[in-house]
Amino acid sequence: MARLLAFFQVSLDGYFADAAGGLDWARPDPHDAEWNDYVSANATGGGMLLFGRVTYELMASYWPTAYALESDPVIAGQMNRLPKLVFSRSLESVAWANTRLAQGDLPSIVRQLKANAGEDMAILGSGSIVLQLAQAGLVDEFQLVVNPVLLGQGRAIFAAMAQPLRLRLTSTRAFGNGNVVLGYAPAT
């Protein structure tokens, strides 16, 4: 059975997007080689990427561009090559290479993908998708990058969680730029 990883960045005060929905505070650090190596190594993994509409539109507006291919060739190449599935009620089509559109019951679709897929899957960002799949017990691992920034207000990824989900710490890693990666799995 394929595993599902949810990867997202949060501010120190727990927001995954600022009050305007922006993510500029979570930009890469050009002066931290260890962090950049970590990001590049993560990008070379396989499997399928899952997105909600907002994250898909953000990613599709950057990774296929000539600028991304020039400035981040390893990550851009992998982002463009990997199979991608976008969950949306409003999109009618998707144009980014290797991308399919999914409409329907999100937990049922992901449950079926996990049962049939050979490779693992990852959700990058996509707060509403992560929330729904966490509540359905379908996320096998949460990887949070805690950024050393206080936003004061914004969007909390689990603000609408219906019931607590107990987790156990599986990994930690701190970087010179102040980012800390925390890995958690469901405690059950």
112 has pLDDT over 70? yes
- Contact between residue 106 and residue 133 where contact means Cβ atoms under 8 Å apart: yes
Q: Which residues contact 59 (CB under 8 A, 6 or more apart)?
A: 51, 79, 96, 124
Burial class (CB in 10 A: 0-12, 13-18, 19+), 159: exposed
79 has pLDDT over 70? yes
Q: How would you write 82-134 as a 3-class SS string? A: CCEEEECCCCCCCCCCCEEEECCCHHHHHHHHHHHCCCCEEEECCHHHHHHHH
| pLDDT tens-digit map of 134-157 | 999 999 999 999 999 999 999 998
187: part of which helix (H) or strand (E)?
A: none
pTM of the model: 0.90
User: Domain locations in the chain?
Assistant: 9-186
Which CA distances in Å does 90 have to 52, 59, 109, 112, 155? Answer: 11, 17, 17, 22, 21
Class of the CATH domain delimited by 9-186:
alpha beta
Residues of the chain with pLDDT > 70: what percent?
97
